[in-house]
Chain A
């Protein structure tokens, strides 16, 4: 699903965020990306979802070279990648439901289908009563879950979750992880960037560790359900 081959990213003037990283994530795999703050996790995500271009190296997602994609092809691929951004990127004046719906609207899903999906997601994440609340009025942890809901709403084949549990208590963290596992069981490939050891310590999934822009350690083997 994801092929990252010798990818480097240098932010101007000369901040070397990634040094020739290579990694492969197979279709249907769920794996964790960990590392100190500033190690380069978010940077790697940005390159994979084409928010930013790599300085050198090659990234392929679903068999398509990311640096060559333009226009409609790029839009179509992006509809298949759900990203929960670390900085959320929510629209504060829109309600939680509207924010989640955005990712389904762009692929012209029917309003009824969107409404059902949004309700079900809010329910699973314990936000059922926030349907009509503008996200600007939600707590940090609630916003974080809305972001995740938006990322998974359109049934993407690849989910990138950047710190999905950073501000959450143990119970809510469990809910979030259950949602992600369910998506994974339905066939989605999932990459989770996190500092939170509790969510991957006991799991059987692969854990990749980045240090200073280099892939340091891998534990576990690729597991495809």
Chain B
């Protein structure tokens, strides 16, 4: 009880003495958390969006001839040589015709009088539904089109490429802002604590002389780092949430943005960001103390 009281009082003195720097630090931590969690939020939403779209992605390989059982086996083997896939469906001329007819519905009458075999037979390849597999979609289609007896290979080429490019860019931004977060929190907090320590050099020396233990001297600084991490990340995430609500209310109720179904970071993500900010800030203050508060 007395320990806690003493530590808190000491912390209060530190904060009062250097409040200007403390606020700057707090804002820096908050800003880096905001940048990081913002790009992470965009990332999770993009991945989520991509997941939903990629459920419908399939490569359609149009064949010259209706494949016999021999050829089917051969095609299957060749496809599997390149990559594992979710499933392979063979669509015969007749199946293609029936499907087309079903899609036309009421207008099916236009097909009357057409021969039932005017559509090419095809193989539908459903790739495994993960980003790395999707990233190789183009290679996959190139590979398939080089096999014998193939008319052409079709998939949402342009779209998939653009999507892949964007998601890679976002991944890079997430990683970069994560690194930025780590660096700023550790260095800024370390710097602030160093200023506090230098500003109170005489006092710390005196404390050692009158018999303060290492814990007595260090605990307030560790607590200061912890507080910076907690408040900074909460402010950052709070701002992000406000921003998120604002965007959601103003943009996604109408227009093309409505196709996005925005979701916020899940509770675990939030907790992890807060905890890691606290950890980083505490590490920052600990590192400084190792260097500037000589242990007796």
A residues in contact (CB < 8 Å) with B: 49, 51, 70-72, 74-81, 83, 89, 91, 102-103, 105-111, 150, 154
CA distance A198 to B208 in the complex (A): 34
| Stretch from B115-123, B132-140, B210-218 forming part of the interface with A | B210-218
Can you list 12 A-B pairs with a CB-CB distance of less than 8 A? A70-B296, A71-B213, A71-B214, A71-B295, A75-B208, A77-B211, A79-B211, A89-B209, A105-B6, A107-B211, A108-B2, A108-B3
Residue from the list B203, B211, B213 in contact with A91, Cβ < 8 A = B203
Q: Quick check: is B206 within 8 A (CB to CB) of the other chain?
A: yes
**Once the chains bind, are B214 and A106 in contact (CB under 8 Å)?**
no
Contacting A106 at CB < 8 Å: which of B5, B202, B213, B296? B213
In the bound complex, do residue B212 and residue A75 qualify as a contact, i.e. CB atoms below 8 Å apart? yes
Check if B207 is an interface residue, CB within 8 A of chain A. Answer: yes
**Across-interface contacts of B212 in A (CB, < 8 A):** 75, 106
How many A-B residue pairs have C-beta atoms within 8 angstroms? Tell me.
56
Residues of chain B within 8 A of A76, CB atoms compared = 211
Contacts of A150 in B (CB 8 A): 210
Which 4 A-B residue pairings sit nearest by Cβ, starting from the closest? Answer: A78-B211, A79-B211, A108-B2, A106-B212
Q: Does B209 contact A109, Cβ atoms closer than 8 Å?
A: no
Chain B residues with Cβ below 8 Å from A105 are 6, 9
Closest to B205 in A: A89
Q: How far is the CB of B275 from chain A (nearest CB, A)?
A: 30
Q: Which residues does chain B contribute within 8 Å of A107, judged by CB atoms?
A: 211
Question: Please, how many angstroms separate the alpha-carbon atoms of A105 and B212 in the complex?
Answer: 9
B6 and A74 contact, CB distance less than 8 A: no
**Contact A91–B209 (Cβ < 8 Å):** no
A109 to B6: give the CA distance in the assembly, Å: 9
Q: How far is the CA of A183 from the CA of B227 in the complex (A)?
A: 43
Q: How far is the CB of A156 from chain B (nearest CB, A)?
A: 9
Q: Are A111 and B210 touching (Cβ within 8 A)?
A: no
A78 touching B210 by the CB < 8 A rule? yes
Q: Which residue of A lies closest to B2 (CB)?
A: A108
Q: Whole-angstrom distance from the CB of B119 to the nearest CB of chain A?
A: 85
List, in ascending order, chain A residues with CB within 8 A of B210's CB. 78-79, 102-103, 106, 150, 154
| Closest Cβ neighbor of A72 among chain B residues | B213
Contact A78 B209 (CB under 8 A): yes
Asked if A51 and B295 sit within 8 Å, CB to CB, the answer is no
Give the residues in chain B near A103, CB-CB below 8 Å. 210-211
Q: How far is the CA of A116 from the CA of B21 in the complex (A)?
A: 36
Q: Are B206 and A91 in contact (CB under 8 A)?
A: yes
Question: A109, B2: Cβ atoms under 8 Å?
Answer: yes
Known interface pairs A75-B296, A91-B206, A110-B2; 6 further A-B residue pairs with C-beta atoms within 8 A, sorted by A's residue number: A71-B213, A78-B211, A102-B206, A103-B210, A150-B210, A154-B210
Query: Which of A75, A83, A89, A108 touches B6 (beta carbons < 8 Å)?
Result: A108
CB distance from B9 to the nearest CB of A (A): 8
Query: Considering the complex, which residues of chain B in the window 70-128 have a beta carbon less than 8 Å from any beta carbon of chain A?
Result: none
**CB atoms of A75 and B211 under 8 A apart:** yes
Task: Kindly state the separation between the CA atoms of A120 and B5 in the bound complex, as whole angstroms.
Answer: 23
Query: Which residues of the partner chain B approach A79 to less than 8 Å between Cβ atoms?
Result: 210-211
